[in-house]
Structure 1
């Protein structure tokens, strides 16, 4: 009896550890790219889902190569001027944005 209880606790702990999703499950799989100052290309691979990402410089001409929607914002706080960009779609090249959020929010 003394050996069975610790063994059951260890098995339950292993099962729980395997059932909990890892951080990678909360990433927008794929590439998000845009054009920066002087036409320089920029990209991010597997961006975090649900977080507001701010652009440090001029950003325009976004391409959403991820598997989830991306929302572009004109302000740096992901609150104003939203444009939803479906997976695989391009934003107009003239559209400038200051932040982006991935996922269904």
Structure 2
């Protein structure tokens, strides 16, 4: 009857903002560093939110992001919490393992189409 029992039957509340763990940042920054060294990327941004954390990369500061790597823990049991999203909003790769998802940026498997 109390509102507390009513609240517990609803959706599970977030435990706080979503952000990247240190080992996840290490993996992201390794890929970023490799592509900066090759001249493809020049800047990045990090954003943490209630439902999603985002690592975005840019060809030039001030441009729209070339790619976004999203972490959505709510999707872990479904299609996976990690996604790489291209400029047009298309999902390029999705999965449960960050290292596997980041392989979309491997030079031998990744090509920019003009």
* Structure richer in helix, relative to its length: 2
* Greater relative contact order (Cα < 8 A, sep 6+): 1
* Structure richer in strand, relative to its length: 1
Q: What TM-score results when the alignment is normalised by the length of structure 2?
A: 0.28
Q: Which has the larger radius of gyration?
A: 1
Q: What TM-score results when the alignment is normalised by the length of structure 1?
A: 0.30
